[in-house]
Amino acid sequence: PALGGCRFIEYDNETDALVDALRLARGMTYKAALAGLNHGGGKSVIIRPRTGFNRTNLFRAFGKFIGDLRGRYITAEDSGTSIEDMDVVRSVTEHVTGVDPARGGSGDPSPFTALGVRRGIEACVRFALGRQSLDGIHVSVQGVGHVGYHLCRELHAAGAQLTVADVDPLKSERAQREFGASIATLDEIFSIECDVFAPCALGSALNRTTVPQLRAKIVAGAANNQLAVPTIGEDLRQRGILYAPDYAINAGGLVNVAQEVIGYDADKARARTMKIYDTIYEIAERAQKAETRTDIVANKIVEERLAKL
């Protein structure tokens, strides 16, 4: 079955919501295949109402819709949704993951996503900088919400130096208080001189405007659909910036909830997430040998697997 989270944010119109769902679902197809998970790619979006609404009733209705799909799609958390929302969904259908551990679920998948991103950053740092650890490595993190916060925690524990930016100043201040991070504005974060730029907000962070500003040697973050258009990957390569394909590096959360589908075991989920290091390093090596973009190499690995199904 397809497996992927439910995004609950404001959209200007239904077309934008549909395009986002399709892009995210395609990314989940590639993410699952590259991670060796036997799940199709799926995502759902709910257009967040601009006026008052009953959240419990909304997610109960969503759960009934998921139930009508009879297991062809299993939902989970994503931007704008929470464990509590998934618990409401679980009250009307079993086809949901990321519910409260007290109810047999695995809880918030964000820490596993962050773990995988940290492992991917370690692989990039070794490949591009010849460093075996993150001690002293400067990472600029764009977005310190659920995943970005946990990534900062992982990086801080590994000895990295942090600069953060978020649309919510309270989240930046929390990272400063807990991890000693420096705070930049949303406009400044792209041009900070650093070793690694980690996009952890919504998609399309890497575009014709932002890429020329980058002063990082590596781009490796948790956001989905980081490249506004695929050709941005070539712009990064031409500038000598190593790019960790988003769906390859941020697969930890999916790995975690996929384990929940077959019987949750945190140790197994963690062990599989740790292997993201090997995946990212292999992609970087193959791209270097082929003198091509890392995202092209990642796509080729996926397509080779899908062709065998």
Annotated catalytic residue 43: yes
Residues in the chain: 309
Question: Residues 31, 43, 171, 217: which is the catalytic one?
Answer: 43
The span from the CA of 23 to the CA of 13, in Å, is: 16
Asked whether 54 and 48 are in contact (CB, 8 A), the reply is no
The span from the CA of 99 to the CA of 284, in Å, is: 35
CA-CA distances (angstroms) from residue 242 to 102, 146, 175? Answer: 41, 25, 26
Tokens 């397809």 appear where?
A: 2
Active site residues: 43
